[in-house]
Chains A and B, each alone.
Chain A
Amino acid sequence: MMSDPLLRTDKEIADIYMRHVKTVYRVCFAYMKNRADTEDAVQDTFFRLIRSGPAFESEEHEKAWLIKTASNVCKNVLRHWWRRRESIEEHYDTPDSEEIGTDDVLSAVTSLPEKYKTVVYLYYYEGYSSVEIADILKKPQSTVRNYLHEVRAVLKERLGENFDEEQ
């Protein structure tokens, strides 16, 4: 699949980008909640791919790696959020700094506590099972199941939907 797993050509990077940018963008937006920070996080995710991305066995493996990396990138950014609060005025001068319009559903998801976001995305949007999610995120299966159990209650309250049932 790759001519050199560690040094990728521009075409290879562009191909990976086009395959997965929407996925990475959606994961990042769940954390960052605004366009500018989301784009920064997307770029950082692909920078990590360039610097240290492994050889991928399949597109599924590639996607899982990017999702996990995007989540970690966003969490690292949020860990330093004290500094970002102090410099938040920077965002007002950058283009496209306005919030992306979101409906009730997306608002409910993006306002979830951090730990639930990637799990919600992977389960309800990508359709992964809790076992697969645990494998992607390197978390115990019981933790993932607990997260899903907790988030169903929260989303049900906010949206009035029963997330236990298939829809």
Chain B
Amino acid sequence: MKNNKLSISWDKLEPSEQANERMLEKILKKNRSFNEKKAADLSKQTQSRKNRFRWGLAAASLALILFFGSAAFAIVSEAEEYNNAVAFFEENGLSTEGLSRTEVKNVYRDITEKKFTYSKTAEIISQSVTGLEIQQKEPTPEELSEVWNKNFFTNRVSANGIDCRSETKYVYDENRGFEVFEKAVFEYFRDGELLWTAEFTDFYIEDYLITNDGIAVWGNNAILSSLDTVTAWVAFIDGEGNVLWQRCLEHGFKNEYVASVLNNGDGTWAVISRGDLKYLCLSCRDENGNELSFHKTEVGNLGIWNVARLGEGYIVQLGNMTSRDVALLYKMDRKGQITDGFSFEADDCDYYIADLAEFGGKVYLSAYSVPMQTDEGGRHEIANVLDYITEDKWDISSEELTPILRDNYTAVLLICDADSGIPKTFYSVKGSLGGKISVNGAGELEWNVESITSAFFSPATSSFTIGGSCSVFCYTFNAEGELIGEEDTGYSVPYRR
């Protein structure tokens, strides 16, 4: 939505009259030069045919124009593919340094078409997954595919070989002249093999939850204007990929999104949503998705960051980066009423909570701490690191940056007593970030810790400034809260800030 203050400031920004004349003159000169060259090329081609076959002249000119047409189209298509390739590299933490334009596109095609036969692909992937060695000098496409699927397929570490992915499909709208939402496709993989897909035409998929009974997915309708109403949707898919039900949340909001869906364990589902950017909502639904109850609480400008079951109710983490409220926790009963609230903070560090899980009647919070940020703008987590680099270390190497970045982070496992509600540190790991936390089939708590293994400074990349990768370790705790296992999962996840 437009912002008047920005608009007023930006309106003042325009080229002077002299600058306009100067720029337009150069641009038109370029245009004349381009057109003259094209005309000269066309003339040469047609001249060579003129004296040979008069009836063939028109065909030759047409062929030349068609050639220019296809060449120009090829130029446009090439530019678009290159831009898509660069965006793909950035989104997956891959570096384009040292690659030609053609090589970037070839690696992009090789990975997205799942061929893994291009010579540069192995080099790019191994550069981005430090610590994960590709054993042979020339890995087979199958080996490279496995490395890719294991480490870049999703930011989630696979559980029992299960991976899920969602993709949004677009279709060209003749009337509007651009592509519009067509459908969302949910894909279910086991050990890298696609087992089934499910499609949704009413909403794009925001997130999902895998349960023993099936998979809950949720998302929002696609809109074309900021004036449109944003509606939230929830759906349930069984283990075979059949969509059992899908429901639109009709709570009267202009803008509603689902933050989380939880299995209550009694055949009902808790759908936690945010309405109009100020209401925390709980909608309880039966096994067919029908709403059994709904409650909303006005909490103000706080996002819903994490939710977990806590006893008969829930614990909800709300947050607001602006006000630096990054560790606010609220207890909510089954009806959606807020019963208590507390926060976790310290004098010398900032905490970021990554995930919550209930275990043994208590709530465990997977988090990480960074030194208390004094920086007044932007990169809160890495402000200190960026200050060091911008002092006079613009060409900092990965070898120097990696330990500095590791020093910035400490993964922390907090335990939150259900009665007192006060979180306290239970376990910590230096050089790491807290990741997903869950209870496994054996009734043990598994805490994923992302240990920073490599980092690089990339000031010109649009989607991150410091990139790198983390090796995922899994710490296992028994019902008594004792650490019983520590394992390198073999997975890596990208680090990007």
Q: Which residues of A contact B (CB under 8 A)?
A: 6-10, 13-14, 17, 21-22, 25-26, 29, 35, 39, 42-43, 46-47, 50-52, 54, 57-58, 60-61, 64, 68, 72, 75, 78-79, 81, 96, 100, 102-103, 105-106, 109, 111-115, 120-121, 123-129, 131-132, 135, 138-143, 149-150, 152-154, 156-159, 161-164, 166-167
Q: Is the CB of B30 within 8 A of A7?
A: no
Chain A residue at minimum C-beta to C-beta distance from B96: A79
Q: Is the CB of B76 within 8 A of A42?
A: no
**Chain B hits for A21, CB < 8 A:** 15, 20, 23-24
**Chain A hits for B177, CB < 8 A:** 57-58, 60-61
* CB proximity of B87 to chain A, nearest CB, Å: 6
Tell whether B286 is near chain A: CB-to-CB under 8 Å: no
Determine, out of B109-117, B290-298, B345-353, B458-466, the stretch whose residues face the partner at the interface.
B458-466
A109–B282 Cα gap in the complex (Å)?
37
Q: Is the CB of B23 within 8 A of A127?
A: no
Q: Is the CB of B27 within 8 A of A167?
A: no
Q: Is the CB of B322 within 8 A of A105?
A: no
Q: Is the CB of B27 within 8 A of A131?
A: no
How many residue-residue contacts, CB under 8 A, span A and B? 172
Chain A residue at minimum C-beta to C-beta distance from B222: A131
Q: Is the CB of B2 within 8 A of A127?
A: yes
**Chain A hits for B48, CB < 8 A:** none
Q: Is the CB of A61 within 8 A of B31?
A: no
**Chain B hits for A138, CB < 8 A:** 80, 83-84, 87
Q: Is the CB of A25 within 8 A of B14?
A: yes
Interface residues of B in 305-333 (CB under 8 A from A): 320-322
Q: Is the CB of A13 within 8 A of B206?
A: no
Q: Is the CB of B277 within 8 A of A164?
A: yes
Tell whether B22 is near chain A: CB-to-CB under 8 Å: yes
**Chain A hits for B76, CB < 8 A:** 52, 54
Tell whether B68 is near chain A: CB-to-CB under 8 Å: yes
Q: Which residues of B contact A (CB under 8 A)?
A: 1-10, 12-16, 18-20, 22-24, 26-28, 30-32, 34-35, 38, 68-69, 72-73, 75-76, 79-80, 83-84, 87, 91, 168, 170, 177-179, 181, 204, 206, 222-226, 228, 277, 301, 303, 320-322, 376-379, 459-460, 462-463, 465
Q: Is the CB of A115 within 8 A of B463?
A: yes
Q: Is the CB of A29 within 8 A of B13?
A: yes
A141 with B460, Cβ < 8 A, contacts A14-B28, A35-B19, A50-B30 known: no
Q: Is the CB of A131 within 8 A of B9?
A: no
6 contacting pairs across A/B (C-beta < 8 A) = A43-B26, A102-B9, A127-B226, A149-B321, A153-B320, A157-B376
A127–B6 Cα gap in the complex (Å)?
11
A139–B2 Cα gap in the complex (Å)?
21
Q: Is the CB of B87 within 8 A of A124?
A: no
